[in-house]
Structure formats: C-alpha cells, structure tokens
Amino acid sequence: MKPNLIIPGAAKSGTSSLHEYLNLHPDIEMSREKEPYYFTLNKRYAEGLTFYDNLFNNKKARYWGESSTAYFVDRVALKRIKKELGGVKFIVILRDPVMRAVSHYLWQVSLFEEFRSFRNAVEYNIRTPVDFRKPGWGGHFKSYYEESLYGEKLQYLINEFGRKNIYVITSKELINDANKALHGCFEYLGLKPITITVDIKANTTSKIDDRKGRLRSFCAKAIRRGVLDFRLLYLAAKNKVGNVSKEDLIWLRDILEEDIRLLQKYYPDIDKRW
C-alpha cells in the first residue's frame, strides 16, 4: 500500500491533531509514524515504496495518509510525490503565518535545538534556505520563514497537482468546530461523514519560562546525548532566547505581507479563517 492522501503542513498548525482525527474515519488509515519523511530523506526514498508496508495494514481503507510537514516546503519531495503517487490528494492546514513561525521557533527552543533570538533565527532562514536532505540535530528543520510563505507554497502545489486535489482548512476551524472542519475534509475525499466525539490536541509546544529551568533541561538533554557544548549553555541562559516581542511580530508580518496577498488570490477570506 502506498499513500494517496498527504497532509504536507504547515508545521505547527495542527497537523498532528488533524492526522489523528482523520485516522478515526473507518475508510482512512493514517501512517503509524506521523512524519516518515519518505520523499524527503534520500536514504528512505532509496528503499522504494515498499517502505510504507510497515506503516499501513488496513487493506480495506480507501485512503492511506501520512503527514510529513517538510513536504510543504521541499520541492524535491513534491517532484518525487508527483512522479510516484499520481493523483494523490492533499489536505493543508494553516494558521496565522506569523504565529506559526513563532510557535515553530518556540518549539525548537523548548527542544534545546535553537539558541538564537527569534529575529536572528528568522533572518538566518531568509538568507539560508533549509537543506531538507540534512535534518538538524534532533531530526527537525528550522524553516521558520520558508514554511510561513503560504502563498508561494500553495501556488506551487496548485500548479503541480491541480486545485481540485488540494483542500485547505485552518487550525482555528479545527479547534472551534472539529466536526464541521472534518466533514469538509470527508466531503472533499468523497467519504461519508462521521461524528467525532473526542477532543484531540496533539504535539503542543511545551514551555520553559525560567532561565534556570532552561539550563537544567538543556544540561540533562545534552548529557543524555553525550554532548555538552558550553557555548550553547551560554546561549541557552540568555534572556533573548525564547522571547518574542511585539516589535518582532510586526517586523515579520511586514515581511510576509506580499505573500499573504498572493495567498488571498486563491483563498480571499483566509485571513478571516485563521
């Protein structure tokens, strides 16, 4: 079995919750490993599509899905998907692009994989696009800016796969009325609606508010990994790490303004939906 349904992102927009919600439908089986990154990681891609045999086991399902969020940004992966999967369906979940970037950054800080200030981290990503063939220390990608370019990314998806194969919801819609949001997904997939009676909030970003707490957690993780870099300890202790100001939010929104306008050409009311 190979996937015919993909949630490519955007990261930190509710993809984990959506993955689990969709898995509740009897005609959908979502992969046991939520983000296998099969089409991104060369080593996995070299295994061939039999790689997915260990991720799916419901032969009666109509859809087999996975939710590797790198696909939203990684054009190499999207070219591979187009070549290997043909008429695959996409469900994209979005949130306010500035707050998405903030959540992504704070998540990396909470994992002690990011030691720069928010603005420095975003500026670095603007200057240096992520190499998706080379995951970071924890296997993650610091695509703070790139992944918030919704207009550019969705325009590419639409051009490559067709508008009819792409369905967009927002995290706000999923949180406010999960059944209504999911019924839209099921209708798009040509499936009968089901009523969801559970409330799923998966993979939320943990918070470490105090400097001492950050230091203790970082030391513990570093020791477990067998690596202790005192330069990173110094950075972890700095107050600017993990702090995002109102000025930072305004700065990033100004940078993203043109891309938001591009997105609105395809989804005119999107800024009201997130």
Which CATH number covers residue 181?
A: 3.40.50.300
Residue 130: inside a domain:
yes
Residue 254: inside a domain:
yes
Under DSSP, the state recorded for 117 is -
Residue 11: inside a domain:
yes
Q: What is the mean pLDDT of residues 37-65?
A: 96
**Between 137 and 256, whose confidence is greater?**
256
pLDDT band at residue 241 using 50, 70 and 90 as cut-offs: confident
Residue 171: inside a domain:
yes
Q: How much is the pLDDT for 216? A: 66
The structure's pTM equals 0.88
Q: How much is the pLDDT for 19? A: 98
Q: How much is the pLDDT for 218? A: 59
Residue 228: inside a domain:
no
3 state SS of 192: coil
Q: How much is the pLDDT for 136? A: 78
pLDDT band at residue 225 using 50, 70 and 90 as cut-offs: low
pLDDT exceeds 70 at position 231: no
pLDDT exceeds 70 at position 5: yes
Total structural domains in the chain?
A: 1
Residue 230: inside a domain:
no
Tokens representing 54? 């260990």
Look-up: residue for tokens 């800080």? 109
Residue 149: inside a domain:
yes
The parent domain of residue 133 ranges over 5-207+239-269
Residue 217: inside a domain:
no
Q: Which of 250, 6, 17, 23 is nearest to 118 (CA)?
A: 250
Of the listed ranges 41-45, 112-116, 161-165, the least confidently predicted one is 112-116
| Residue 183 φ/ψ, nearest 5 degrees | -60, -35
Question: Distance (Å, rounded) from C-alpha 44 to C-alpha 176?
Answer: 37
pLDDT exceeds 80 at position 209: no
